[in-house]
Amino acid sequence: MDELRTHHRTCPFCEATCGLQVQTRGREVVSVRGDADDVFSHGYICPKATALEYLAQDPDRLRTPMVRRDGVLTEATWEEALAEIDARLPAIIAEHGRDAVAIYMGNPGVHNLSGLLYNTVLLRALGSRNVYSASTVDQMPKQVSVGLMFGTMLSVPIPDVDRTDHLLVLGANPLVSNGSLLTAPDMRGRLRALRERGGKLVVVDPVHTRTAQIADEHHFVRPGADALLLFAMVNVLATEGRVDLGRLADHTAGVDVVTALAADFTPEAVASACGIPADTIRRMARELADAERAAVYGRVGSCTQEFGTLTSWLVDVLNVLTGNLDREGGAMFTLAAAGQRNSQGDRERPGRGKGVRFGRWASRVRGVPEVYGEFPAACLAEEIDTPGDGRVRALITIAGNPALSTPDAGRLDQAMRGLDLTICVDLYLNETTRHADVVLPVPDPLQRSHYDLAFAQLAVRNVANYSPAVLELADGMRHEWETMLRLAAIAGGQGADADLGALDEFVARTLIGLEQSVPGAPVAGRDPDELLAALAPRVGPERLLDLLLRVGPYGDHFGDRPDRLTLDRLLANPHGVDLGPLRPRIPEVLRTPSGMIELAPESIVADVARLRAALTRRSNGGMVLIGRRQLRSNNSWMHNLAPLVKGRDSCTMLVHPDDAARLGLVDGGFAKVSSTAGTVQVPVEVSDSIMLGVVSIPHGWGHDADGARMTVAAGHAGVNSNVLADGSQLDPLSGNAVLNGIPVEVAAI
Ligand SMILES: Nc1nc2c(c(=O)[nH]1)N[C@H]1C(S)=C(S)[C@@H](COP(=O)(O)OP(=O)(O)OC[C@H]3O[C@@H](n4cnc5c(=O)[nH]c(N)nc54)[C@H](O)[C@@H]3O)O[C@H]1N2
Ligand SMILES: Nc1nc2c(c(=O)[nH]1)N[C@H]1C(S)=C(S)[C@@H](COP(=O)(O)OP(=O)(O)OC[C@H]3O[C@@H](n4cnc5c(=O)[nH]c(N)nc54)[C@H](O)[C@@H]3O)O[C@H]1N2
Ligand code: SF4
Ligand SMILES: [Mo]
């Protein structure tokens, strides 16, 4: 019998990046527990962690490539699958051009070194403008606002929850989601500690959530009205002389523009639209200003709505105007060990950069501007089903399930049937991948190494933690990064048998070149061959990660600072390396062309007119739909794991008792919910935790599609809430979908 082995490994499922202790025997996972010695999570885990065990064994998970033969997806060898792609993809590019191939990248790619380091290789080889991702059904508004204010897309101020005295949370439920754009394992413990040291937690949400339950105060807000509330708080600060930027005053442009804009948004003017009384808004503003150390934090509910970018911007406007940005206990900038854009750039002129630019090209059908090289996911269906030159004819999905996750889901599902070629890189045959002509499987997460290149940049502490693969790669499986290189080679016209080693070396050399190109870079002027040799014998993601760590702010600079970080050093520290609490970084962190915090970016200022119009908009008294997350669920893709779906079905519509009575809805009965985009029938759950006039349905359900192979999920199918989301409704600056505050008709069945 194989011996029992213990591994330490970061959980790959959500942004909390908890440390796990995984026991294996041979290729079998015996147990998954919290790693008490993890420098960041100290043993905390949530119920999803144990799902790793079930995922490893799930018989439905794809273990070979699949190719469509005579209309049926059939098991195939890698050679057959790649030959099929090589026979069809370059031909489409040759005949219809590069933009005829669209790519959609889903959320798990951000939890995966392959996705983070090799998706761009495929994007470059493909050269298409039809790039889509889950970002535009999620955090794009925040990335736009921080890009304009601070200069890079991941310069997201992180609430310093461990040291703050006052935390205002809008549209986030970290006790269920475990935090987002806020990597902080055990948010319950951290928020409890905040209150125990006399701090105050205020939650603004249309639902009395689990997070609201442990807060000092909860305010119901009308979906989509957060920007009005926050502007009114700015108004109070300005009119009561409470604006105090402190140290930031010398580094901030546009304060007067913002306070002038706020003039129209008095607490009295916004109160009825938000559903929060004017004197409460005044008090909220005063308490925020008076708190010794405070932070404002907004997440999914503040982004995936009509005023996503304005709301995301106002969150940080308040952090700046109260002097809490970049201060201990306020909202701070992480300094991650690897790959953080706002720690790179011209070392001779730190604190300045190129800033960000959007709208360099526009989408074919609706003419919406590109943002960070992407079009809105809500535009994908129309780019496929609208005839004409430049139509999307092929789609590649990587770790995404847009058929459930993006708006107008019914239309996208139909549109996918009209594609000439669909290639999916995924773990499962699900609602999206069932449409594929070729599916390329990926290893179980435990069969790959892990490092949180993205989330370490969004963490409440500076932490670095690398985990090698726990399980051997299964027979016949290939590493996902190799698959991405194969696809890149095919898209680039090099065929299905290109020399992978040479391609990967080219990727490493390109990254070395990039790192060396910035003035004052730690490895500027060094011989690239020497650097490459120093990274040997590593290849793949490990080689790139070692490079990024070594040139990073804590890195050894390839021998210049020998005692500092390398991948070897992380390997020797399986519980992670703690690099300390967040420290003030302004002005060094800024990458705006002016070297200032841009408090009033032109495009955002121009969008305020739209918000002003909302002030006088009369509500027709109808119901609006929002979404929610669930503890034992992870978007759409973990519903095939029995322990996570056992018990009562959770895909229900929450409705307030008074609305239920008025509409004739009963708990456990069914409701028909219709919007401009579609209709679903869903079980009713009557609850006074939800605001009057609002109903909530979680996303990621609707597992009853023909041709999918998720047996357990099919037994708890639920409904696809994105059938109701109208893809024509976008936050204009970010192209983000409006997934909250959707007008709906609700009727009893
Ligand atoms: N109405 C509504 N819609 C929403 C939201 C909402 O709040 N309301 N939330 C939005 C948000 S925040 C997000 S992030 C999106 C998520 O949207 P998506 O990313 O499109 O969807 P997921 O459900 O995360 O699906 C992930 C896919 O990746 C596969 N997968 C898992 N691990 C791996 C891996 O390691 N490699 C590969 N190649 N594949 C893998 C899974 O099998 C699944 O097919 O949904 C959005 N949609
Ligand atoms: N268990 C679990 N954890 C997850 C996920 C999951 O599916 N399940 N998904 C992961 C992903 S991809 C992400 S992006 C994060 C998201 O993390 P969070 O942002 O914390 O996610 P939610 O729990 O959806 O919280 C959003 C809240 O916004 C509220 N809301 C809706 N509309 C509005 C509005 O207009 N204004 C305000 N103020 N509030 C509004 C909703 O009621 C809800 O409570 O979670 C991650 N973690
Ligand atoms: S909170 Fe997130 S990272 Fe932590 S164990 Fe749960 S799913 Fe994994
Ligand atoms: Mo997300």
Terminal-residue alpha carbon distance, the chain: 58
pLDDT tens readout for residues 725-741: 999 999 999 999 999 99
Helix (H), strand (E), coil (C) string for 264-276: HCCHHHHHHHHCC
For the domain that residue 258 is a member of, what is the CATH number?
A: 3.40.228.10
Torsional class of 312: left (φ above 0), alpha (ψ -120 to 50), beta (otherwise): alpha
Q: Say if 58 falls within a structural domain.
A: no
Q: Say if 403 falls within a structural domain.
A: yes
pLDDT recorded at residue 519: 77
Strand partners, 205: none
CB 430 within 8 A of CB 547: no
pLDDT confidence band for 415 (50 / 70 / 90): very high
Closest CA to 56 of 15, 20, 105, 106: 20
pLDDT recorded at residue 346: 67
Q: Say if 48 falls within a structural domain.
A: no
- What is the spatial distance between Cα 717 and Cα 708, in angstroms, rounded to a whole number? 12
pLDDT tens readout for residues 584-617: 999 999 999 999 999 999 999 999 999 999 988 8
pLDDT recorded at residue 618: 72
> Ligand 2 mean position to 298 CA, how many Å?
10
> Ligand 2 mean position to 737 CA, how many Å?
14
For residue 45 and ligand 3, the question of a CB distance below 6 A is answered with: yes
Mean pLDDT of the chain: 96
CB 132 within 8 A of CB 432: no
Based on the fold, state whether residues 290 and 171 are members of the same structural domain. yes
Q: Which two tokens stand for residue 224?
A: 């989509």
> Ligand 2 mean position to 418 CA, how many Å?
33
Based on the fold, state whether residues 383 and 412 are members of the same structural domain. yes
Based on the fold, state whether residues 75 and 93 are members of the same structural domain. yes
Pocket probe mutation, ligand 3, options 20, 38, 40, 46, max atoms within 8 Å of Cβ: 46
Q: Say if 650 falls within a structural domain.
A: yes
DSSP-assigned letter for residue 2: P
Based on the fold, state whether residues 201 and 280 are members of the same structural domain. yes
Which residue in this structure is represented by tokens 């080689």?
543
Q: Say if 631 falls within a structural domain.
A: yes
SS3 600: coil
State the closest ligand 3 atom to the C-alpha of 10, by its place in the atom list counted from 1.
Answer: 3
Based on the fold, state whether residues 180 and 325 are members of the same structural domain. yes
- The answer to whether residue 712 scores a pLDDT higher than 80 is yes
Lowest mean pLDDT among 239-253, 267-281, 331-345: 331-345
Based on the fold, state whether residues 333 and 363 are members of the same structural domain. no
- What is the spatial distance between Cα 322 and Cα 310, in angstroms, rounded to a whole number? 18
Which residue in this structure is represented by tokens 């009557």?
686
pLDDT confidence band for 520 (50 / 70 / 90): confident
> Ligand 1 mean position to 109 CA, how many Å?
9
Q: Is the pTM of the predicted complex or chain greater than 0.85?
A: yes
Q: Which two tokens stand for residue 4?
A: 């029992």
Which residues, at least 6 apart from 301, have a Cβ–Cβ distance to it below 8 Å? 170, 171, 172, 205, 206, 223, 226, 626, 740
Q: How many residues does the chain have?
A: 749
Nearest CA to ligand 2 atom 25: 172
Nearest CA to ligand 1 atom 45: 405
DSSP-assigned letter for residue 433: G
Closest CA to 285 of 262, 303, 306, 308: 262
Q: Which residues lie with the beta carbon below 6 Å from any ligand 1 atom?
A: 106-108, 112, 134, 137-138, 300, 304, 398-402, 405, 425-428, 430, 442, 445, 480, 627, 635-637, 699-700, 721-722, 725, 739
Based on the fold, state whether residues 552 and 632 are members of the same structural domain. no
Cβ neighbourhood burial of 597 (10 Å; 0-12, 13-18, 19+): buried
Nearest CA to ligand 2 atom 2: 177
More confident residue, 65 or 518: 65
For residue 597 and ligand 2, the question of a CB distance below 6 A is answered with: no
SS3 278: helix
Based on the fold, state whether residues 247 and 168 are members of the same structural domain. yes
For the domain that residue 697 is a member of, what is the CATH number?
A: 2.40.40.20
Based on the fold, state whether residues 132 and 203 are members of the same structural domain. no
* Percentage of the residues of the chain whose pLDDT score is greater than 90: 95
Within 10 angstroms of residue 64's Cβ, the number of other Cβ atoms is: 17
- What is the spatial distance between Cα 740 and Cα 53, in angstroms, rounded to a whole number? 34
For the domain that residue 86 is a member of, what is the CATH number?
A: 3.40.50.740
Q: Say if 41 falls within a structural domain.
A: no
For residue 734 and ligand 2, the question of a CB distance below 6 A is answered with: no
pLDDT recorded at residue 648: 85
State the closest ligand 2 atom to the C-alpha of 48, by its place in the atom list counted from 1.
Answer: 1
Closest CA to 134 of 168, 180, 99, 170: 180
For residue 14 and ligand 2, the question of a CB distance below 6 A is answered with: yes
> Ligand 2 mean position to 172 CA, how many Å?
5
For residue 18 and ligand 3, the question of a CB distance below 6 A is answered with: yes
| Residue range(s) defining the domain that contains residue 511 | 502-573
Q: Say if 660 falls within a structural domain.
A: yes
- What is the spatial distance between Cα 120 and Cα 103, in angstroms, rounded to a whole number? 11
Q: How many domains does the chain have?
A: 4
Based on the fold, state whether residues 512 and 540 are members of the same structural domain. yes
> Ligand 3 mean position to 182 CA, how many Å?
13
- What is the spatial distance between Cα 309 and Cα 227, in angstroms, rounded to a whole number? 9
Nearest CA to ligand 1 atom 37: 399
pLDDT tens readout for residues 127-174: 999 999 999 999 999 999 999 999 999 999 999 999 999 999 999 999
Based on the fold, state whether residues 312 and 227 are members of the same structural domain. yes
- The answer to whether residue 399 scores a pLDDT higher than 80 is yes
- The answer to whether residue 50 scores a pLDDT higher than 70 is yes
Based on the fold, state whether residues 195 and 129 are members of the same structural domain. no
Nearest CA to ligand 2 atom 34: 223
Pocket probe mutation, ligand 3, options 10, 14, 112, max atoms within 8 Å of Cβ: 14
Which residues, at least 6 apart from 646, have a Cβ–Cβ distance to it below 8 Å? none
Q: Say if 49 falls within a structural domain.
A: no
- What is the spatial distance between Cα 749 and Cα 745, in angstroms, rounded to a whole number? 13
Closest CA to 9 of 638, 544, 543, 570: 570
Pocket probe mutation, ligand 2, options 112, 140, 167, 177, max atoms within 8 Å of Cβ: 177
> Ligand 1 mean position to 451 CA, how many Å?
19
Strand partners, 426: 441
